[in-house]
Structures are given as C-alpha cells and as structure tokens.
A = this chain, B = another copy of it.
C-alpha cells in the first residue's frame, strides 16, 4: 500500500518552494534531498524529521531563547528501531530548524536512547559541569538506557547549548527491571529539589522520586492501577496548570497507555487532575479524562522552563497499531502542533461541573491568509482552498430547533476532500447525542485494525445549543479543537495517489445552522 516515492510527480509537488533549503538544516547532518518536505502526504505546518521514523517527543525545553524539541528517531531506517534523540529548534514554536541527533547509542546494538526529559542545572547540582559552562547552558538530559535485559534511568549533559550530550557512565536509577522508562524531571521550586516521575510500564504504575543533584534519587510515592487498564503505561508527566479565571493552580498527571487504550485498542493518553505536595500526587477524582478523542495522539509531554508559567505541550501524532505501515516516505510520523494547556471549569451535564484541560494551538497567524469568512447563518457551503500549505478553519454551529424527525441526530457535517472528491475526511457534530466525531473511512489508506471513526461526548450548554469546531488540516494530519479546545481530536489520514485536501464542504440537518465560518490558508513552515 505504500506510494512509491519516485511516483510523486511534479504535478503533485508543491509550488513556490525555495530550491535552497539549507536554511532548514536536516535531521542527518547531510544536505536535504530535492523534494524533501514537498511530498503530497508531508505535513506543511507540523514538525516532521526530514527522513526516517520518529516517535515520542523528548526533552522539550526552552533554553537560551530557543525551544528545543528532541524526539525518538531512527537514524537508519523508516521504521521503528535504533532509538536516539533526534533534534530540532524553534524561535517561534511554528518554524523548525533541523539538527543531527543529540544523543546516540554507543553501538548499533545499543543500549538505545529511549524517551526522557531535559532540565537546566543552573547551580550545577549534578557536579558534571565546570565554570567554563555558563549557568544557563548547563543542560542535563535524563533518559532511559534500554537493552533487552534492562531499562535504567541515565544522565547525559551538554555544554554546547543542547546540540550534543555526553553520557555520564552508569545509571542513576536501576531497578533491574525490563519495563522501567521515560523519566520526566523538573525543578520543584517549593521544595528546592528535583522531582522525577517515571513509569513501571508493566505494573501500570508511576514512581515519583526526589533528588538534590539529579544523580541520587529517593522514591517518595507511587500512582497507578487507575484509569485505562491497557497493556503498558509509558511517558508520564506531572506539572502545574492554572485554572482559568482564578488564582487557583492544580497539578495534572499524564500517562500514555499502549497497546490496549480503550479508544481503538492501540495507543492513547489519559490525564488526572489533582494536587502535588512535592512527594505525592493526590487526584481530585479518578475519572479517566482522555487527552484526545482521535486515534493519533500519544506520548505527549510538556516543556520545561517556558517563561511566564505557560504550560506548552506536544504529542506524537501516530499510533503503534499501524505507525510502521503508514504510506509515507522517506519519513514516518509527525509531532503535533504545540498546544498551550489551561484548566477550565466545564459543565459536563446540567447537574455537574468539573475541570478539564483546554488545548489552544500555537498562534499560526504569521502563516495565515483569509480564504473565506461568513457571518450569516448558512445551512451548507462549498469552499475551494489552496492545496500547497494547510488550512485552519472555525465553524460556529447552533441548533436553532429540534428536528421533528425522531431519527434525526440534528447533525452538522464538515467534509474535507481532494479536488476530485475521491478521498475525504469528515468531522461531525450530533446535537441530539452530545457527540462529536471524526470519520476517516473514505480517506484512502487503512488497515484491518485502523479504526475509521472516533467519537466523544462533548459539552453543550443546555441553555445555549452551540458548538464551535476549529480544525487544522495539514495534508495527512488533522487536529480538531471542539468547544475552544476542551475536546481535542488528532487523526492521521492518508489520501491516495498524490491527492491532497483541496475543498471543504459542510451540510447541516434541519434545525442546525453554521452561524459563522472562517477559513484561512496556512503557508508552509518549510519555506525559507
């Protein structure tokens, strides 16, 4: 089912791209091959490495006026394996410069460099730096060193601003366990100490540790056997987030489950909201909140050291059930857009209020040009848009009257399709069911356990039957933000034979209208 890369003709390549793309750097250190980032399925506003297979974001950190994204990457092949830390930097969280990998295995046989996090050890608590490294340059990565026999937590440090790391010999934590990984470390100011949350993957449990020096770690608590059961727990995170409209702050604990996430059976991420006293996380309730109701959002974690207490998040937009088979070459997998997280009070039903995370995507206005805007209520429309970049649209939907047909779902359907209409994806809202859904059944490539429809219960105020749907459609990546990001759906999709999204159509059932609609074209971030 792979599209041979050589068949991607000029007709399907994108116009207006600078020939010299050295400004972008590359993931390998070698010059980019011609046509790289012009492939029909290549996202134009999402980060992808120039080539080969990538997965979890790692070591997300703001340091020295630059945002660093590391990520799991196979330097050799376009499939999982030979894990090391690929690397990219950004000044604006929109455009990315590619760099060669920052931490690589000692040999072809490993140990491999699994996921982890990065901090700035300003005060040289670890003692691995000397005075020649300026305090703000003292970057330390905590990562999982992985062999078939054991997974341990290890430390590496960088003295060149995060472009290369030196491994400190031996582990900092070794439980003699084959399934012990993905340390997220952060500075806990209230206790003047480092805190780590790390996963005992096969025991469905996270361990919280504390340390004065990033090297000697003491367990303070565990949290687990809650939420989705699944097969293994991975990629935990633990961080404070402001509650909108108040001075209150709550802590959010993230855990990614794979395989066996309830939605689709593959990879999925849940989060819990509660308090953290420096030693233990206490959830406010034990309801499973899903990070995303789509099939393609896994292993997301947040940045360290972002100014102004902003909590920025990034995920991996794929799913282990099929990530090694998706028809993209010479790369596989995108990372998500950067989202700012906040906590918001939500009335799930008219009898219950709770807190949920809100995802607000990074400001894309520097890429945007208006294609269409309407502010008069419409029941249907069809809009062609430029197909070289991506699109960002917002639809305000309202149910003005209940349908007299009891079988009606009072639905609004938004379809994004190829120019010839042969491939499409659909975003829908059913007011009658309090449901939003994404259907990629007509999108093209699929496999037997590749679910086509993802749906979730959404919040619709009882006294105001309105739903806002914003979506960014980016060649093979869809991110949908329902009710201003209270509900997030990320879905990868793969149109066939060089087709790309080129038109949006929407239709509403009787009694439902699109009160306002705005569609902007986004130019590629891969233009120099």
Listed in ascending order, the chain A residues whose CB lies under 8 Å from chain B are 79-81, 177, 179, 200, 202-204, 225-232, 259-260, 262-266, 285-290, 293, 320-321, 324-325, 348-352, 406-407, 411, 413, 426, 428, 430, 433-435, 437, 439, 441, 448-457
From A266, which residue of chain B is reached at the shortest CB distance? B455
How far is A447 from B124 in the complex, measured between Cα atoms in Å? 60
- Given that A202-B352, A428-B448 are known contacts, is A433 also in contact with B227, CB under 8 Å in the complex? no
Find A451's partner among B226, B321, B426, B452 (CB 8 Å cutoff). Answer: B452
- CB<8 Å pairs between A and B, sample of 29: A203-B351, A204-B287, A226-B287, A227-B287, A227-B288, A228-B287, A228-B288, A229-B287, A229-B457, A259-B457, A260-B434, A260-B456, A260-B457, A262-B290, A262-B456, A263-B263, A264-B455, A265-B293, A265-B437, A265-B456, A265-B457, A321-B435, A324-B406, A428-B449, A448-B453, A451-B451, A451-B452, A451-B455, A452-B452
How far is A229 from B356 in the complex, measured between Cα atoms in Å? 11
How far is A22 from B426 in the complex, measured between Cα atoms in Å? 49
Chain B residues whose C-beta falls within 8 Å of the C-beta of A227 in the assembled complex: 286-288
Chain B residues whose C-beta falls within 8 Å of the C-beta of A452 in the assembled complex: 441, 451-453
In contact, B260 and A325 (Cβ under 8 angstroms): no
- Given that A260-B456, A455-B264 are known contacts, is A349 also in contact with B287, CB under 8 Å in the complex? no
Q: What would 16 more interface pairs be, CB under 8 Å, given A228-B262, A265-B435?
A: A79-B406, A179-B351, A202-B351, A228-B288, A229-B288, A231-B349, A231-B457, A259-B457, A266-B455, A288-B288, A321-B433, A324-B406, A324-B407, A439-B448, A448-B453, A452-B452
Chain B residues whose C-beta falls within 8 Å of the C-beta of A411 in the assembled complex: 448
Top 6 A-B pairs ranked by shortest CB distance? Answer: A260-B457, A265-B455, A202-B351, A202-B349, A262-B262, A225-B285
Chain B residues whose C-beta falls within 8 Å of the C-beta of A439 in the assembled complex: 448-449
Find A449's partner among B81, B179, B453 (CB 8 Å cutoff). Answer: B453
From A231, which residue of chain B is reached at the shortest CB distance? B457
Nearest-neighbour CB distance to chain B for A19, whole angstroms, equals 35
Nearest-neighbour CB distance to chain B for A293, whole angstroms, equals 7
From A204, which residue of chain B is reached at the shortest CB distance? B352
Nearest-neighbour CB distance to chain B for A437, whole angstroms, equals 5
Chain B residues whose C-beta falls within 8 Å of the C-beta of A433 in the assembled complex: 259, 266, 320-321, 449
Chain B residues whose C-beta falls within 8 Å of the C-beta of A450 in the assembled complex: 453
From A287, which residue of chain B is reached at the shortest CB distance? B229
In contact, A226 and B453 (Cβ under 8 angstroms): no
In contact, B228 and A434 (Cβ under 8 angstroms): no
How far is A350 from B200 in the complex, measured between Cα atoms in Å? 12
- Given that A229-B288, A285-B226, A320-B433 are known contacts, is A407 also in contact with B451, CB under 8 Å in the complex? no
In contact, A430 and B413 (Cβ under 8 angstroms): no
From A180, which residue of chain B is reached at the shortest CB distance? B351
Interface centre among A285, A289, A351, A428 (most CB of B within 10 A): A351
In contact, B453 and A451 (Cβ under 8 angstroms): yes
How far is A521 from B430 in the complex, measured between Cα atoms in Å? 41
